[in-house]
Structure 1
Amino acid sequence: MSQTVSENTRLTFIRIVLVEPAGALNVGSVARVMKNMGLEQLILVNPHCDPLGDEAKRMAVHAVDILEQAIIVSSLPEALTGCQRAIATTARSRSQALPTDLEDPRTVLPWLLDCPSALIFGPEDRGLNNDELSYAQRFLRIPSSSCYPSLNLAQSVGVCCYELRYLALEIQPTPAQGMEHPNPSTVPLEVLEGYYQQLETLLLRVGYLYPHTSNSRMKKFRRLFNRANLTGEEVTMLRGILSQVEWAINCNNFVAIDDTLKASPD
């Protein structure tokens, strides 16, 4: 009994996030496999189908409650509100603008246990694009046959849900399962997002970024800070630096500071 309680508690933290799902049959199948494996939180980002329609309910069978409790949001950042960790799934080769570390499910998924977290899946026809991938801290690819590597959305969710249940049943996951990831961030992802928005605004203002290139440059900053696994205190410190720079600009203090440094005998 204690093992079942531990398993359910650990899985309760995890959200399955579907970005722009197009097929009601897939959404219903996802709900069913989530309930099969003990996961409860389903978040739908701008769905292109009716998650409570007949097709979805027919595929969900006895998991209609998962569909009824699913939360529909308009953006991925909104879906990640309250999460401390996020893993994005992808089946394609990565561009150099994003991390190249694609991890195996059994290696990376333990990282989602025991704190508010999200596992993100892209639309059936294209997967997650680079903008969507940039909101995640780590990246998962299901190793499949080179003869036909592409998995159906519901199949991909099913594989990952099974692995999460398997790992949750392990009371003390070993380092080989990926729990050794250093200094895991305890910062809600919306707090990090606020820092990124403040950073981008300031860098545009001082001319380090230009509007036509800011998106690609900010992806690199996101990669850097996501890799750093910042604490809440560190984010507060970084935002304080940005706020001080903004104050200095507004007060025209940069000129005075520069003149003082030039006049210094050192």
Structure 2
Amino acid sequence: MLSTAGANIRIVLVEPAGPLNVGSVARVMKNMGLHQLILVNPQCDYLGEEARLMAVRAADILETAKAVESLPAALVGCVRAIATTGDDSRSHPMPLEAPADALPWLLEAKSALIFGREDCGLTNAELNRAQRLIRIPSSDAYTSLNLAQAVAICCYELYKSVASCQKEEVASLGESASSIPDATDNLSTNNPEQLATSQTENPSISLNSAPLENLEGYYQQLETLLLKIGYLQPHTAASRMEKFRRLYNRAYPTVDEVAMLRGAIRQTEWAIKSYARSPVSDTLDGALPENPGDLKLES
């Protein structure tokens, strides 16, 4: 279970500025059985003497760390992402969860745990790349945690979750096999109706969750189309697209569902190009007026 968590979960630091912090992060990751470190546009020498000094015996985490230019690049291959924020007054519609409640969700799939800059954290646009947000509770007297400390707390919570699962597995092995119903008896892939019901009750269950880069490609296509048809305006596009992101983040679409959505956009793009245009107004012949509410139904 611990090796699975290490293979599934990557720790993502966005523009870390302190080599001592990065070294400390590497050390606590190794303490807690994690080894995938991704640095987005690092602002320090993460392989230098200061970082190695704090990493101690976790220098291998630093040496295998990947530096990428953007957060989307850091999330390639992930199907789940949780971002951290230290600001409980931020105007953001996504609920803030406690680490112990949210982090076990990352154990089930290829996932990322995202941490922001030491001085200003993550932007709203970066927070919207994640499906869930967590905040570490702290005293009102001093709410801001050091980056490495925040990573340590979250990695420890993940480690506890793994240990708890392992204890449950050991306990179940000690029981009589006849007293333990096979999960597949109640949830069989041979019973699609029953499986669909289970997935509806627990939206985190997905047989084929779409990687985040697939969703990102869809968002880019959708924004381009909506700008083209005038649904979005350049000065408000970012805020409108945030709402679309939150909508799909709640839905956990599968690979096939994202492919269907992208196919619909491609067909719409083709129709726009192929539809006959009026030589006078340069609008689509037979298209809706600028204000669809002006249409009156014929009696």
TM-score higher than 0.5: yes
State the match for 1:177 in structure 2: none
CA distance in 2, matches of 1:11, 1:29: 18
Equivalent residue for 2:60, pick from 55, 65, 69: 65
Contact 1:88 1:121 in 2 (8 A): yes
Q: Comparing both chains, which one has the higher relative contact order based on Cα–Cα distances under 8 Å and sequence gaps of 6 or more? A: 1
Q: How does 1:120-159 map to 2 (within 5 A)?
A: 120-159=114-153
| 2:2 equivalent in structure 1 | 7
Residues 1-266 of structure 1 mapped to structure 2, 5 A cutoff: 6-93=1-88, 95-96=90-91, 98-171=92-165, 182-184=203-205, 186-252=209-275, 255=285
Q: Is the 8 A contact 2:6 2:36 kept in 1?
A: no
C-alpha contact (below 8 Å) 1:26/1:56 kept by paired residues: yes
- The residue type paired with residue 58 of structure 1 is L
RMSD of aligned Cα (Å): 2.3
Letter in structure 1 aligned against 2:23: G
Shift of 1:237: 1.4
Q: Displacement of 1:69 after TM fit?
A: 0.2
Q: How far 1:131 sits from its partner (Å)?
A: 1.1
The equivalent of 2:174 in structure 1 is none
The CA deviation string for residues 104-152 of structure 1, in whole angstroms up to 9 with x for no partner, is 0010001100311000000000000111111000001011111211100
Distance in 1 between residues matched to 2:64 and 2:205, nearest whole Å? 29
Q: Does the CA-based 8 Å contact 2:204-2:252 persist in structure 1? A: yes
The structure that has the greater radius of gyration is: 2
CA distance in 1: counterparts of 2:72 and 2:52, whole angstroms: 27
1:22 aligned partner, one-letter code:
A
Structure 1 contact 111–181 (Cα < 8 Å) conserved: no
Q: Which runs of 5 or more residues in structure 2 are unaligned? A: 169-200, 277-283, 289-294
Note the residue ranges of structure 1 that are not aligned, 5 or more in a row.
1-5, 175-179
Distance 1:197 1:83, change over 3 A: same
Deviation at 1:12, TM superposition (A): 2.0
The CA distance in 1 between the partners of 2:167 and 2:269, in whole Å, is 45
State the Cα distance separating 1:101 from its structure 2 match.
Answer: 0.5
Per-residue CA distance 1:217-255 (angstroms, 9 max, x = gap): 111111111111111121111112111211110011663
